Amino acid sequence: MRVYLVAGELSGDILGAGLMQALKRRHPQIAFRGIGGPRMQAQGLESLYPLETLSVMGLVEVLKHLPGLIKVRRHLKRDALAWRPDIMVGIDAPDFNIGLERQLHDQGIRTAHYVSPSVWAWRQGRVKKIAKAVDGMLTFLPFEADFYADHHVPVAYVGHPLADELPLVNDRASARQALGLALDVPTLAVLPGSRGNEIRFQGEIFLRTASALRERLGALQVAIPAASPERRQELDSLLKRFPELAASTVVVEGRSREVMTASDAVLLTSGTAALETMLCHRPMVVAYRMAPATYWLARRMVKTRWISLPNLIAQETLVPELIQDAVTADGLVETLLPWFEDEQARSTLEQRFAALHAELQRGASERAATAVTSLVEHGSLDPETGKV
């Protein structure tokens, strides 16, 4: 079997390596070619470009790199048509990959896309382009599969790799000990975001909230995972404005899952962190602020009732969401307090999150490999891999 793989960033390299491992167990003589990083190359991928080639963020940056990206896509198309793979799998990077998938699909090569773009949330018209580009969409989440099924796009719900990676049982006390936190003091995890602008919009409000919550509870320790040395520097600078809070706050680089597990509740921005918190089985409050113009535009484009993945997965409001002007220290304190004062409510939500975790823990790499094999051997997705 020959498989053409195109990944565009670190997360795609991790996913691609897992898929390749699972495919190699089924097809020992398999060959891989395309674009990937060190993990995919270690599994045998012949990569034509560095992984970072497609990692272009922001409108201005994309426009600046657009001629080069078009050149890369043309080269990959020519190369794939000459190599004649049994299937091409685009891993995330939808703006680049779906166009390439369409071009190869039109030339008779089977195609699949691994990791659904947020087409269910905004720019839903893209689903028509996707339908013409892929023989199968491989999704992480069940509501994504429902969306594609409703639009008659062949789909396999394979489960989420994070759910496979994180244990179904975790230990709060051990996580606190590892972080140097007291075992018997209420603990809040604060995750204001991994980007500089997120720290700018939410960092001070989150710390003000933690300070006010500490006064209400009488005692509180805070743990903050910094996504990078730059974010840590920004957080340390912000904490200087809250000396009393700083005395009971631990800032660590990375280790976000350890911080979540150690906590009684988590205050965070929307995004993958909300899913990780759910998979650590911890109550949370999701808050998100952005530039006014961006918010104005987002309100008109986003089509979902919720912004956080736990609510989208459950299709009900399990997690409080505060957005834009609702993000105030007073509002956040009142929303967080029940997770500290009502032990029964906290325990019930933790149990619900554990159940959702078990549903998502499906062996994503193995299921994705089964779906890819089914497309190659039968020209369609095997219903056993998930929804179709």
Residue at 198 is within a domain:
yes
The Cα 388–Cα 383 span in angstroms is 6
Whether 239 and 344 map to the same domain: the answer is yes
Query: Does 59 score more than 60 pLDDT?
Result: no
In this structure, the number of other CB atoms found within 10 A of the CB of residue 302 comes to 13
Q: Residue 61 belongs to a domain with what CATH number?
A: 3.40.50.2000
Q: Is residue 385 part of a domain?
A: no
Q: Which residues contact 118 (CB under 8 A, 6 or more apart)?
A: none
- Mean of pLDDT values over 13-36: 95
Do residues 214 and 305 share a domain? yes
The position carrying tokens 């809250």 is: 242
342: CB partners within 8 A, 6+ apart: none
Question: Do 382 and 370 meet the contact criterion of CB atoms below 8 Å apart?
Answer: yes
**Residue 55: pLDDT above 70?**
no
| Domain presence at residue 95 | yes
Can you read off the two tokens belonging to residue 327? 């993000």
Domain count, the chain: 2
| Phi, psi angle pair for 47, to nearest 5° | -95, 125
Residue 342: inside a domain = yes
| SS3 state of residue 23 | helix
Phi-psi region of 386 (alpha: psi -120 to 50; beta: other; left: phi over 0): left
What sign does the dihedral 231-234-238-243 (CA atoms) show?
positive
- Quick one: which H or E segment has residue 226? strand 221-226
Which candidate, 164, 126, 162, places its Cα nearest to that of 147?
126
If asked whether residues 371 and 322 sit together in one domain, one would say: no
DSSP secondary structure code for residue 348 in this structure: H
Contacts of 370 (CB under 8 A, 6+ apart): 382, 384, 385
**pLDDT, tens digit, 9 for 90 and up, residues 294-326:** 655 656 566 667 678 899 888 899 999 998 778
For residues 347 and 261, membership in a common domain is answered with yes
Domain span holding position 45: 2-159+362-380
Using CA atoms, how far apart are residues 365 and 159, in angstroms rounded to an integer?
A: 9
In whole angstroms, give the CA distance from residue 58 to residue 169: 39
Q: How many whole angstroms separate alpha carbon 12 and alpha carbon 368?
A: 14
Give the neighbor-by-neighbor strand order of the sheet with 221-226. Answer: 249-253, 221-226, 187-191, 265-268, 284-288, 321-323
- Residue whose pair of structure tokens reads 């670190």 in the numeric block: 10
What six digits make up the tokens of 295? 């918010």
In a domain, 181, yes or no: yes
Predicted pLDDT at 33: 98
Query: 252: burial class by Cβ within 10 Å (0-12, 13-18, 19+)?
Result: middle
Are 138 and 199 within one domain? no
Q: Are residues 100 and 229 in the same domain?
A: no
Residue partners of 95: CB distance under 8 A and separation at least 6: 62
Q: What are phi and psi of 35, to 5 degrees?
A: -130, 130
- The answer to whether residue 177 is domain-embedded is yes
Of 180, 181, 199, 201, nearest in space to 191 by CA: 199
176 and 152, same structural domain? no
Closest CA relative to residue 246, chosen from 296, 207, 273, 294: 207
Would you state the pLDDT for residue 387? 44
Statement to judge: residues 146 and 252 lie in one domain: no
The pLDDT tens digits for 83-138 are 999 999 999 888 899 999 999 999 999 999 999 987 765 667 789 999 999 999 99
Q: Identify the band that residue 386 occupies on the pLDDT scale cut at 50, 70 and 90.
A: very low
Q: Are residues 349 and 217 in the same domain?
A: yes
Q: Interhelix angle for 142-150 vs 126-133, to 10°? A: 90
SS3 at position 188: strand
d(CA 173, CA 159) in angstroms, rounded, equals 29
> For 256-281, how does the pLDDT look when each residue is reduced to its tens digit (9 = 90+)?
999 999 999 999 987 788 999 999 99
Question: In terms of domains, do 268 and 324 share one?
Answer: yes
Judgement on whether residues 344 and 368 belong to the same structural domain of the protein: no
Q: Tell whether 355 and 366 lie within a shared domain.
A: no
Please indicate, yes or no, if residue 16 is contained in any of the structural domains: yes
pLDDT at 119: 79
Claim: this prediction has a pTM higher than 0.85: no
3-class DSSP state of 386: coil
* pLDDT band per the 50, 70, 90 thresholds, residue 8: confident
Assigned domain for 166 exists? no
